[in-house]
Structure 1
């Protein structure tokens, strides 16, 4: 099979806040002289004249309400979308396929095997954002063991993640794993939309320091731990925003949700947020807090730096590779006491201190996590 010197990016999960990595990668590869095709989700929020965008994934079920029927139909659609991907690869014959996310390991194993058998001239690169899924089951790890064997190159975002990958899957060739940093976010184009008056009123309180937690509300993100420390350490001049879609299985949060909702020092937004709402929250906070129990690297960190906000985080995954203590934020290594330490540091800093740290974060990320530089270092791993 003759191949074309094109990198095809495969990202079925390319929606809203999860799409920044993909958009930056596509633009960075283009700026380094690569032809780029992106196969993505129907709700991919960017447009570009620099690369081809094919919205193959989940044109029917993406916006369905969560239910058992949706899960079943989504699996069928994912299988059908994979067939479309194979047909596209057969037609276009790219030199490299770079996979950003895999969503259904049983199905993925099947199609990766087909790729290995019938598309063996295509180099396959995989970005392992998470070495294993949060709360991974034994069957998922078994599938991943097979899946990881199909890739020519595996990308992780930090030294800790490479070590963890080799610990869990010791048969992976160490030379196939490379560390490539996550890049600073790509700005969305201006969107139409409005901000609820209650959000505006809360964030416009004079002389108040605004601390933001943004992201999916699930057990690994530690929001319940955050609030339990907040009620003991909160001050009159400090306000907390907790925003993001809630996982219905997050019992620890559900048990204290009524308390959070009635707390006048907290703006609680357990819902899907539009891009314009996300940008508004970042622009009007003074710092970002990541109280995670577990994780790899948070995309919120890059959004925060783009908006010139410092990030204060518990120690998880590769986060320590990205934050400079007392300059761009702070990482606590105190385990369960970490959130308490972070809140005390934030309480002691002035708004001016936080603004200066945010400016430092922007410069640091711009200089060290620029997509053009990241992609230039990836070129040797593409055909």
Structure 2
């Protein structure tokens, strides 16, 4: 008899989680699991049932809250109608919306599989009581994506929960790139020069992502190389970065796209640029890293444990010492001035994603968890 599971994901396409949900559910169907997705995006599939119960952008907090509450009510009621007793919930921080998601699920008697993307928030949104409630009482099973997250989560939860925590990788995005879009066509669409090299800094800005380190590395990088910064500033104050840009006279070498980046534009950036920089000082796991490697876009990243679990230095990426902008510049220069190295890293990255980050393999782990509940 086939089991059923639903992913309740109010954030969805707004943070690129639509791809995670879709790839995971497609692979779950191969394990004789019938998956449902309740989120904010459309999905045309014969095997995965997706319902758009949540919105994406809102005029004010009231309309956002009302949409969320109605979306949760519709999701839980649809679970009941379809005899779904198990749901998957993404957790990035334990704020009001997170605890209300669990409250609805428990009110409807649903068993919850928590995917802990971030063991704790880097934006100071966590409520300690909510964290305690979600992880120790309202999670029937917990999934983390790497050993680093596992080691940091266990001391924060009760010992009774330790056996309920599983390490399952975040899957790759090797089937995501649009083959019809070439590097040249992407550059033309973005208005970029064909004979110039571009470094990409991508994603929502946060202090822990250390854009300042990337900016201070720029004067030490070949003057013909430009930097593209693409992502919403969120609650991070961009003026502090603008001060560095002005101090180092970098404006002529920067392309600033400080906005929400659409799916279509993200595709262009990952196709048009030469490498991705990830100077983060703290992270639990990075979808941007896995996406870059899946596209074959070479990566230069900080030498921190979560990245070291994915990147083999010199093979599928380059690492630099945390906070050391001089070392970052050195590694970027090594990469950008060696076409053979870039070509090798591109192929190594894609192969690594296909072989070690397969959603089909990951779905087997989720299937075991689902069947155990």
TM class, shorter-length: 0.7 to 0.9
Partner of 1:284 in structure 2? 272
Do residues 305 (structure 1) and 293 (structure 2) align?
yes
C-alpha deviations, 1:214-245, integer Å up to 9, x for none? 111222221122102222x1213433221112
Q: CA deviation at 1:292?
A: 1.2
Instruction: Pick one of 78, 81, 85 that aligns with 1:91.
Output: 81
Tell me the distance in 1 between the aligned counterparts of 2:74 and 2:245.
Answer: 43
Query: What residue ranges of structure 2 are gaps of 5+ in the alignment?
Result: none
Do residues 155 (structure 1) and 139 (structure 2) align?
no
* Alpha carbons 1:45, 1:188 under 8 Å: kept: no
* Alpha carbons 1:209, 1:351 under 8 Å: kept: no
Tell me the distance in 2 between the aligned counterparts of 1:117 and 1:257.
Answer: 51
C-alpha deviations, 1:14-73, integer Å up to 9, x for none? 1153322212111111122211111112xx264322200111012xxx3335xxxx1232
Tell me the distance in 1 between the aligned counterparts of 2:82 and 2:226.
Answer: 53
Distance 1:191 1:346, change over 3 A: closer
Tell me the distance in 1 between the aligned counterparts of 2:42 and 2:332.
Answer: 33
Do residues 256 (structure 1) and 244 (structure 2) align?
yes
Instruction: Pick one of 6, 12, 28 that aligns with 1:8.
Output: 6
Structure 1 vs Structure 2 CA RMSD: 2.8
Distance 1:7 1:191, change over 3 A: farther
SS in structure 1 at match of 2:50:
strand
What TM-score comes out, normalization by structure 2 length? 0.87
Do residues 348 (structure 1) and 334 (structure 2) align?
yes
SS in structure 2 at match of 1:256:
helix
* Alpha carbons 1:26, 1:51 under 8 Å: kept: yes
What TM-score comes out, normalization by structure 1 length? 0.85
* Alpha carbons 1:235, 1:347 under 8 Å: kept: yes
Tell me the distance in 2 between the aligned counterparts of 1:154 and 1:265.
Answer: 44
* Alpha carbons 1:242, 1:267 under 8 Å: kept: yes
* Alpha carbons 1:12, 1:101 under 8 Å: kept: no
Do residues 49 (structure 1) and 46 (structure 2) align?
yes
Q: CA deviation at 1:382?
A: 0.4
Tell me the distance in 2 between the aligned counterparts of 1:265 and 1:172.
Answer: 54
Tell me the distance in 2 between the aligned counterparts of 1:50 and 1:340.
Answer: 50
SS in structure 2 at match of 1:304:
helix
Partner of 1:246 in structure 2? 233
Tell me the distance in 2 between the aligned counterparts of 1:315 and 1:79.
Answer: 41
C-alpha deviations, 1:260-318, integer Å up to 9, x for none? 89632222221222222211211122211111132221111122122111221114462
Do residues 234 (structure 1) and 232 (structure 2) align?
no
Superposition map of 1:92-241 within 5 A: 92-101=82-91, 105-106=95-96, 108-110=98-100, 112-113=102-103, 115-116=105-106, 118-119=108-109, 122-137=110-125, 140-149=127-136, 150-171=138-159, 173-185=161-173, 186-187=175-176, 199-202=190-193, 204=194, 206=195, 208-231=196-219, 233-241=220-228
Moved more, 168-177 or 32-41: 168-177
Distance 1:107 1:242, change over 3 A: closer
Tell me the distance in 1 between the aligned counterparts of 2:87 and 2:253.
Answer: 48
Tell me the distance in 1 between the aligned counterparts of 2:104 and 2:10.
Answer: 18
Tell me the distance in 1 between the aligned counterparts of 2:252 and 2:100.
Answer: 52
Moved more, 73-82 or 251-260: 251-260
Tell me the distance in 1 between the aligned counterparts of 2:262 and 2:101.
Answer: 33
Tell me the distance in 2 between the aligned counterparts of 1:313 and 1:259.
Answer: 25
* Alpha carbons 2:91, 2:118 under 8 Å: kept: no
Query: What residue ranges of structure 1 are gaps of 5+ in the alignment?
Result: none
